[in-house]
Amino acid sequence: MVKRKKRYIIIEASTEIPVEVFKKLIEKSYLELFGEFGLNEANLKLVKKINNKFILECSHNSVSRAILSISSIRKLDDSLFCLRVVKVTGTIRKAREIIAEG
Amino acid sequence: MGRKYVDFWINLTDEVDLYEMVSEVKKLGFRSVVVSSVDENRLREFRKLSEDFKIEVYRKLILEPEDRLSLLKNLRAYRGGYEVISVICSNLEVALTAARDSRVDSIILPPSKRFRIDKGVAALISNSVELPFKWFIDENSRRGFIRVASEVVNYLSRKTSIIVSSSASKPFELRSPHELASLLQVLGLDRSTALDAVSTIPEKIIEANLVKLSSSYIARGVLKIG
């Protein structure tokens, strides 16, 4: 079996939000833009949450799609809200290091 | 040396905290911004704040003319006063004129446009096409914007250069260079070309215009030395 390449996207939220809300937001946005097939292909998984920063795992072919769907989010319950892509890494260890560095 | 990222349009018309705006621009990694503002005092204040953050600020004029004559009249009147001039093309007549006028730096095709980008328009375009990301963030204009953006990428990307700007009027609407470039990547351009749309292409336009606005400029290709 061919191993699927993954990428880890470090995302910073403008306010601290629960994991469930984050997951819903990302999935809804991705679904709206790229549909069920796209979402399935991207294989989005939330790996870790540290304060208002999240590490999102996705397949390496879908990085630009994931970044676009993250940047399309601008509202949370009718209040202004945004998610910022801090960095994309190839390993989870590097992603953790970047978050630890601040 | 890394790329020098440029946000080609920040709109300062709304009453926002300028310090927050500048610090956000710096945090996102931009080294230059092009700002449109009605209020000269706010622009001056923004420029002063940007100096502390080592961000270069250039002035931009956005024109949205109804017809060809008003576009030409405005270009004649304002070209000398601004580093960048962009034209929002609300109809085909304006689009065809703006596309081939060398005084226009970029043309913006609104999501609600009622004309097609066909071979005729594509053959005439000599200026860059700008895609304001704000229309993508806004849910009301998103569908129209994606249609326009994919038309631009499919029909014009080989013919002319494309720029993606945030067109933000609030800090929340600002996006990082990689987020802006991801739009073009999703539409089929490679990563390097997509990043050029937020770095080298706008930078070249600004550089060329700064030369034109300098006192030593005489005509195209002719500069006064000494």
Structure token digits, residue B188? 């089929």
Cβ contact B136–A72 (<8 Å)? yes
DSSP H helical ranges for chain B: 18-28, 40-52, 68-78, 92-100, 119-124, 134-137, 142-151, 177-186, 191-196, 200-213
For residue B14, pLDDT over 70 is answered with: no
How far apart CA B146 and CA B153 sit, in angstroms, is 10
Does the pTM exceed 0.90?
A: yes
Q: Which residues of A touch B25 (CB under 8 A)?
A: none
**B176/A84 touch (CB, cutoff 8 Å), yes or no:** yes
pLDDT in tens, B160-193: 999 999 999 988 899 999 999 999 999 999 999 9
A91 in a domain, yes or no? yes
Give me the domain span that covers residue B79.
5-223
Q: Which tens digit of pLDDT belongs to each residue from A62-83?
A: 999 999 999 999 888 888 888 9
Measured CA to CA, the distance from residue B77 to residue B181 in angstroms comes to: 34
Closest chain A residue by Cα to residue B185: A64
B120 has pLDDT over 90: no
What is the count of structural domains for chain B?
1
Residue-wise pLDDT for B128-161, tens only, equals 999 999 999 998 999 999 999 999 998 888 889 9
Q: What pLDDT is attached to residue B61?
A: 95
Report yes or no on A93 lying in a domain: yes
Contacts of B137 in chain A (CB under 8 A): 71-72, 74
The answer to whether residue A90 is domain-embedded is yes
Is A95 inside a domain boundary?
A: yes
Condensed to tens digits (0 to 9), the pLDDT of residues B64-117 reads: 999 999 999 999 999 988 999 999 998 888 998 999 899 999 999 999 877 887
A11 interaction partners in chain B (CB closer than 8 Å): none
Minimal-distance CA residue of chain B relative to A81: B172
Q: A26 in a domain, yes or no?
A: yes
pLDDT in the model for residue B116 = 80
Domain span holding position A32:
6-101
* Domain-embedded: residue A61: yes
Q: Do B185 and A64 touch (CB under 8 A)?
A: yes
Record: contact A14-B172, CB cut-off 8 A:
yes
Q: What is the ipTM of this complex?
A: 0.91
**What is the arithmetic mean of pLDDT over B45-51?**
92
Residue A94 lies in a domain: yes
- Please report how many Cα atoms fall inside a 13 Å half-sphere around the Cα of residue B196, on the Cβ side: 13
CATH code (residue B200): 3.20.20.140
Domain contains A1 = no
Mean per-residue pLDDT, A74-96: 90
Question: Distance, in angstroms, between B79 CA and closest chain A CA?
Answer: 34
Which chain B residues are within 8 Å of A9, Cβ to Cβ? none
Give the sign of the dihedral formed by CA B86, CA B89, CA B94, CA B99.
Answer: positive
Kindly determine whether residue A80 and residue B172, on different chains, have CB atoms separated by under 8 Å. Answer: yes
Domain count, chain A: 1
